[in-house]
């Protein structure tokens, strides 16, 4: 853009020499040249300082890498490539056989566990009844044993030693049966008493596993996270899709407010403020200028951010080479919305200082836009 100012001055000087028929000699030419140096230099300094310009700008868009939550073979892919997709529409599907089988197995295990719980309740009732029965028989045998034992202490013993011993053995055997029945009853009751939120723990565990299995089954159908479009869909049925964060299989572009991200020189921070008026020209739309405003200046320079890596860090860039990033919000315009995301642009921001110099910046920006008819790259 500075070259445009110089060329404009040269053209004006040449026109003045021709129109006013100023003679070309050792006084007029050096005067025009030196005057041009001072005038052009002053204007460029004032303009660049107070009304920053950058050719490093882009229509930015945030993309979402699509990575499946489960691993499997792709069985179906959407045919809506680069077309509007509504939130919840299917992007692609994975073969669900393995996950459906796990759901079916856990459903069967859950039914079995519920049935076993009901069965244990019946067993507990039976064990309680059995304990009462064998306890009653033990009490009867104990009384018989006591009767035999008391009779053996009489002056005339009506019972033989064998009768007394048999009564004692019968009582002890029945007492052992009572203890066995009580232990069985306690074991069944312990299993039934292992409750979580009022439900048997094994059933709770199986329900949790079943919920997870159903979730994984649902994840075999990958859906659009929001309204937007999928671009460069390269997966096909038969592709192996892994649930790894570093291996996305699709890029989804959500519907969003389009913004221009511009990179300015670091010394432009002296005049960049949120709310300043901005103008943008696109390589793809020559001869047109779009207005907006500077909304945000990012608080960090990308090259100055570091991450913990277990090694000592040094400067990764030469200080001053990385620019300051700013967000430009344009006024609604159908032509801008129709442009491909990521397209390049040039941006000028106008501060409140030396506003009369801003006219020159606006003229130069429009000249830059007209030059896009001739070439696209700077």
Predicted pLDDT of residue 152: 64
pTM: 0.63
Q: How many CB atoms lie within 10 A of CB 273?
A: 12
Residue ranges per domain, the chain? 1-50, 53-62+256-303+321-373, 64-95+220-254, 98-215
Q: Do the domains at 53-62+256-303+321-373 and 64-95+220-254 have one common CATH topology?
A: no
Q: What is the mean pLDDT of residues 200-227?
A: 90
Res 267 pLDDT > 70: yes
- On whether the CB atoms of residues 73 and 241 are closer than 8 A, the answer is yes
Average pLDDT, integer, range 352-361: 85
For 3-7, 41-45, 237-241, 245-249, which range has the lowest pLDDT when averaged over its residues? Answer: 3-7
Residue length, the chain? 378
CA–CA dist 344, 291 (Å, integer):
16
Work out the average pLDDT over 319-347.
Answer: 85
Distance of CA 185 to the CA centre of its chain: 53
Torsions phi, psi of 50, nearest 5?
Answer: -95, -20
Reference 290, options 255, 256, 328; nearest CA is 328
Locus of tokens 């445009």: 4
Other C-beta atoms closer than 10 Å to the C-beta of 39 total 12
Write down the CATH number for the domain with range 53-62+256-303+321-373: 2.40.30.170
Query: What is the DSSP secondary structure assignment for residue 51, as one 8-state letter?
Result: S
Q: What's the CATH fold of domain 64-95+220-254?
A: OB fold (Dihydrolipoamide Acetyltransferase, E2P) (2.40.50)
Nearest of 366, 198, 357, 187 to residue 287 by alpha carbon: 366
Please state the separation of Cα 25 from the chain's center in Å: 71
pLDDT one-digit tens code per residue, 59-108? 988 889 999 999 999 999 988 888 889 999 999 999 999 999 999 999 99
What is the number of helices (H) and of strands (E) in the chain? 7, 15
pLDDT at 167: 73
Mean pLDDT over 333-353 rounds to 89
pLDDT at 70: 93
Starting at the earlier edge strand, list the strands of the sheet with 240-241.
221-223, 90-94, 72-77, 240-241
- Say how many Å lie between the first and final Cα of the chain, rounded: 10
Write down the pLDDT at residue 184.
Answer: 73
């Amino acid at each position: 853009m500075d070259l445009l100012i110089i060329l404009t001055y040269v053209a004006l000087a040449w026109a003045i020499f021709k129109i006013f028929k100023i003679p070309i000699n050792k006084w007029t030419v050096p005067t025009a040249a030196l005057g041009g140096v001072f005038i052009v230099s002053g204007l460029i300094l004032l303009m660049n300082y107070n009304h920053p310009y950058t050719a490093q700008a882009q229509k930015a868009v945030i993309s979402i890498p699509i990575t499946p939550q489960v691993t499997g073979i792709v069985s179906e892919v959407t045919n809506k490539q680069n077309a509007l997709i509504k939130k919840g529409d299917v992007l692609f599907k994975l073969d669900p056989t393995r996950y459906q089988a796990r759901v079916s197995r856990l459903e069967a295990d859950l039914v079995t566990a519920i049935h076993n719980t009901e069965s244990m309740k019946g067993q507990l009732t039976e064990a309680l009844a059995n304990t009462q029965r064998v306890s009653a028989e033990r009490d009867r045998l104990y009384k018989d044993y006591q009767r035999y034992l008391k009779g053996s202490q009489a002056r005339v013993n009506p019972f033989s030693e064998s009768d007394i011993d048999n009564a004692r053995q019968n009582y002890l055997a029945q007492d052992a049966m009572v203890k066995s029945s009580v232990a069985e009853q306690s074991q069944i009751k312990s299993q039934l008493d292992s409750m979580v939120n009022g439900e048997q723990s094994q059933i709770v565990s199986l329900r949790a596993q079943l919920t997870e299995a159903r979730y994984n089954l649902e994840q075999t159908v990958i859906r659009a996270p929001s309204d937007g479009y999928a671009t460069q869909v390269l997966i096909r049925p038969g592709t192996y899709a892994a649930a790894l964060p570093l291996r996305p299989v699709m890029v989804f572009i959500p519907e969003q407010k389009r913004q221009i991200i511009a990179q300015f020189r670091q010394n432009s921070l002296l005049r960049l403020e949120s709310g300043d008026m901005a103008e943008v020209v696109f390589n793809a739309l020559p001869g047109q200028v779009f207005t907006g405003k500077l909304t945000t200046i990012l608080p960090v320079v990308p090259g100055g951010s570091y991450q913990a890596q277990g090694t000592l860090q040094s400067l990764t860039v030469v200080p001053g080479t990385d620019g300051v990033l700013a967000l430009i919000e344009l006024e609604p315009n159908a032509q801008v919305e129709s442009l491909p995301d990521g397209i390049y642009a040039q941006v000028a921001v106008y501060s409140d200082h030396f506003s009369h110099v801003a006219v020159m910046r606006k003229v130069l920006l429009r000249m830059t836009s007209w030059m896009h008819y001739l070439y696209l790259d700077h």
